Amino acid sequence: MSEEKEESSQCAKETGVTETVPTKKLSLQERLAIAAQKKASDSNKKKNKKKQEDTMKEGHGIGEKAQAEECAYLDKVVQLIDDSTKRDDILEAVKRYVSAKNERLESKIVILESELKKVKTKTTLANKTSDDGLLKKLKEKEDQIHDLLDEGAKLSKKELALSQTIKRLKSRETELESDLSRLESTIEELNAKIDGMEKSLDMCDVNERQLAEERLRVESLQAKYEAILKANDGLTDELKEIKFSNLDGKLKNIQKELDEERQENEQLNEDYKKLNLLHQELKKENEETISNLQKELKSQRAINIEREAEIKRLEEKVEELRYHTETTISNKSSDSSIELLQTQYDQAQENWKLIESTYLRNISKLETRIDELQIDNVTYSKKIKVLTNDLKQKNSEIKELQETNLSLLDELKNSKKQNDKLKSEIEDLTQRLNQAIVDCKNEKESLVKKIEKLQEESANLESTLKLRMNEFNSSTSNIPQNSFYLQDLSSASSLNFKNASSHSPSIGTPLGRQFSNKRLSLQFGEGALAPRLPSSSSAFTLNKLNNIGSLSAQDKILRHQNSIISMDSNDAPLGINTSARSISEGLPEFTVEEEDPDEIGMDATSDRYTVGEGVDTPILNNSNEGVGVNVQLIKKLGDHARMLELEVSTLKDETLALEKEKECASAEIGRLIEENSKVNELKHEIELRDSEVRKIDDNYQRVLVLLGEKEERLGELNEDIEDLKVILREQVQQMVEMQEKINELSKQ
């Protein structure tokens, strides 16, 4: 078993698999040696048996652990086969492991058989008496051999399974090789992409640095821009205030500034002309000086050549004189030759002095000329500085004017927008006004028509009322008076009905304008044949017409719909037709209440009825039929009179409502007229604003033209100044060259 563990660990090392090595256990050989030693002593048989049993148990446990470890190892190998990329190495390692395992098992079987033979021989020689124990041990060994054979069978099964897995892995390997080729191509593509991405990353890093720098710049510029915006906002606010306060004054100031700038431009043009003249004069002077200096240089060069020739001649003479002197000294010449030489020497010195004086004069003249030119250069530089400062001021003024220009443009745009808004509002208002006028006219016409209709209806109603009253008066004069009395009641318009057990009613009704201030109180069922019954149970009461008149027309109509009085053939004698029924719509609903006789307004104890103001009428005794007919007639006449009064009250209410509507319409017309006047005023203001805006536009166009002219003039002045600078630089360079030449001549 230890050899198997060592080989499995070596295979694991070859395949690259790390395996946990278990603790060392006893092998079969060691256990057999221990058992042989224990057999020698008979006294320790029992102990040996117990130890052998223990060792057998341990051997079984060790075999089971080894099998579990081998299974775990095989599982790890299978996992590695499934996961790893080195398929060939793993397959070779598995093959070697299987072959080694088979060889080990075969060798173990051979060793065990040899050991069995040795044990048998040893046991037969050592102790024949211990046959039973040896047989038991042999049985145990045979059991171990059977166990090992079982393990070999299991391993062979595992080998078959591994061979199948190898075949499956080979097919898998082919698939994986195709996948590998495909993956290699994809890897190459990815590598190319990675290279491109690395390059792009480098570019991104560079871009990020540039972006960081640009961000810093942008932040600084943004801070500056915000500061400028704040300043600009403040300035714009101030400008807006100033402009809204006095645009005319601003325009006048701008015109004054433009006039001043024109004058300044004229002055600048004059200065420019003067400078051009000076420049031309300076050019001429410089050309003259250059020509004079060139002439002087030529003359000086000729003089220098002559002087050099004289110097050479004098040197030759001096050498001749020296030679003569030497010869004269040697020959002891006369004093006359010495005197001649002395005179010649004096003449040469005088000539040298004259030459030096002329050179010094020329040098002094040139120095003075250089000083004058330097002074002129300084003055010209000062003038150029002054002109540049003036130009800068003009540029700043032009920028300010441009800014004011832009602000004026913005104001013009805003004013135009406001103009458009006002125009749209005016159009809306005019449309509303026209619609309101049309609606007002329509309402007025409808109200006039309604009033005319109401007047016609009221006239018709009055005529019908008069006719009905006349008919009622004529009918009442012809009606036979039965046993009843009429009493004069108060002027309240209320009708009270009271039912007794014999259904004898009590009626009170106002009848038209003639009966509007009276209340008729009647009690029937009393006479010669019909005694008076006690009053009880219930009474019908109608509310006052004044309270009914305070209701709206719709409520009256609803009440009337619930309490339409049915008319039958008995209406014919009274002249009440269907038109009167239609007019009677709008009556209130009658309410039924139970009241006491005192509240009803009737004299329960009186046996007579009176008509008129305290004038007693004679008692009329008649049959019950005549009483019923009279009661029905009076009831219907009272109902018709009430209906007519209700119609009149509703018509009055409607006329009041129409008057109120008329007042509202007149107020609305007045309001619309005021709005129309306001709209006209706004139109006038808008026209004035439009004229002002046009004036501002014209002034703005003029300002733009002037600014363009000024910019052109400034550009020309800048070009002239640059030309002057170039000319002055050339003059300075010429002066420097002249000075260098003079210095060289002075050195010579």
pLDDT in tens, 442-464: 877 877 787 787 778 777 777 77
Q: In whole angstroms, what is the distance from residue 674 CA to residue 668 CA?
A: 10
Residue 187 reports pLDDT greater than 60: yes
579-584: average pLDDT: 39
Reported residue count of the chain is 748
Q: In whole angstroms, what is the distance from residue 423 CA to residue 435 CA?
A: 18
**Weakest mean pLDDT among 193-207, 289-303, 468-482:** 468-482
Check residue 86 and give its pLDDT.
Answer: 55
Check residue 334 and give its pLDDT.
Answer: 54
Among residues of the chain, what percentage have pLDDT more than 90? 0
Of 28 and 510, the one with more pLDDT = 28
Of 516 and 237, the one with more pLDDT = 237
Quick one: 74 exposed, middle or buried, by C-beta within 10 A (0-12, 13-18, 19+)?
A: middle
Residue 521: its H or E element: strand 520-521
Of 324 and 11, the one with more pLDDT = 324
Residue 740 reports pLDDT greater than 60: yes
Q: How confident is the model at residue 324 (pLDDT cuts 50, 70, 90)?
A: low
Q: What is the pLDDT of residues 249-299, one digit of tens each?
A: 666 777 777 777 777 767 776 777 777 777 677 777 767 777 777 777 777
547-568: average pLDDT: 44
Q: What is the pLDDT of residues 461-476, one digit of tens each?
A: 777 777 777 776 676 5
Residue 593: its H or E element: strand 591-593
Q: In whole angstroms, what is the distance from residue 78 CA to residue 101 CA?
A: 17
Q: How confident is the model at residue 589 (pLDDT cuts 50, 70, 90)?
A: very low
Residue 743 reports pLDDT greater than 80: no
Structure tokens belonging to residue 315: 């040197």
Q: What is the pLDDT of residues 142-151, one digit of tens each?
A: 787 777 778 7
CA 620, distance to chain mean position in Å, is 100
Q: How confident is the model at residue 215 (pLDDT cuts 50, 70, 90)?
A: confident
Closest CA to 42 of 121, 128, 118: 128
21-46: average pLDDT: 56
User: Directed axis angle between helix 131-245 and helix 45-83, to 10°?
Assistant: 30
Check residue 45 and give its pLDDT.
Answer: 57
Residue 240 reports pLDDT greater than 80: no
**Weakest mean pLDDT among 311-320, 429-438, 621-630:** 621-630
Structure tokens belonging to residue 261: 């700038």
Among residues of the chain, what percentage have pLDDT more than 70? 57
Of 690 and 602, the one with more pLDDT = 690
Check residue 463 and give its pLDDT.
Answer: 79
> Please, are residues 727 and 283 in contact by the beta-carbon 8 Å criterion?
yes
Residue 498 reports pLDDT greater than 50: no
**Weakest mean pLDDT among 138-152, 167-181, 336-350, 600-614:** 600-614
127-141 burial by CB neighbour count: b if 16+ within 10 A, else e?
A: eeebeebbeebbebb
DSSP letters for 418-459: HHHHHHHHHHHHHHHHHHHHHHHHHHHHHHHHHHHHHHHHHH
Structure tokens belonging to residue 544: 């006052």
Residue 706 reports pLDDT greater than 70: yes
Q: In whole angstroms, what is the distance from residue 672 CA to residue 521 CA?
A: 57
Check residue 267 and give its pLDDT.
Answer: 75
Check residue 599 and give its pLDDT.
Answer: 37
> Please, are residues 607 and 527 in contact by the beta-carbon 8 Å criterion?
no
668-696: average pLDDT: 77
Check residue 130 and give its pLDDT.
Answer: 58
Residue 597 reports pLDDT greater than 50: no
231-254: average pLDDT: 67
User: For residue 599, which phi and psi values (nearest 5 degrees)?
Assistant: -75, -25
Residues 6+ apart with CB under 8 A from 607: 526, 532
pTM, 2 dp: 0.23
Q: In whole angstroms, what is the distance from residue 102 CA to residue 703 CA?
A: 113
Angle subtended at Cα 176 by Cα 174 and Cα 181, rounded to the nearest 5 degrees: 100
Q: In whole angstroms, what is the distance from residue 161 CA to residue 70 CA?
A: 14
Q: In whole angstroms, what is the distance from residue 656 CA to residue 661 CA?
A: 9
733-738: average pLDDT: 75
> Please, are residues 621 and 527 in contact by the beta-carbon 8 Å criterion?
yes
Q: How confident is the model at residue 571 (pLDDT cuts 50, 70, 90)?
A: very low
Structure tokens belonging to residue 326: 């030497």
- Residue 541 β-bridge partners: 496, 591
Quick one: 189 exposed, middle or buried, by C-beta within 10 A (0-12, 13-18, 19+)?
A: exposed
Of 446 and 541, the one with more pLDDT = 446
361-376: average pLDDT: 75
Q: In whole angstroms, what is the distance from residue 462 CA to residue 469 CA?
A: 10
Query: What is the average pLDDT value for the chain, to the nearest integer?
Result: 65
Residue 715 reports pLDDT greater than 80: no
Of 181 and 582, the one with more pLDDT = 181
Residue 411 reports pLDDT greater than 60: yes
CA 358, distance to chain mean position in Å, is 91
| Max mean pLDDT range (80-94, 357-371, 549-563, 622-636) | 357-371
4-11: average pLDDT: 47
Check residue 51 and give its pLDDT.
Answer: 54
Residue 657 reports pLDDT greater than 80: yes
Residue with tokens 């009167």: 580
Check residue 73 and give its pLDDT.
Answer: 59
Check residue 669 and give its pLDDT.
Answer: 78
Check residue 132 and give its pLDDT.
Answer: 67
**Weakest mean pLDDT among 127-136, 311-320, 461-470, 557-566:** 557-566
Tell me the domain boundaries of the chain: 2-203, 453-657
Check residue 181 and give its pLDDT.
Answer: 80
End-to-end alpha-carbon separation of the chain, Å? 119
Closest CA to 638 of 476, 529, 440: 476
Of 520 and 251, the one with more pLDDT = 251
Check residue 185 and give its pLDDT.
Answer: 80
- Residue 500 β-bridge partners: 535
**Weakest mean pLDDT among 72-81, 370-379, 420-429, 661-670:** 72-81
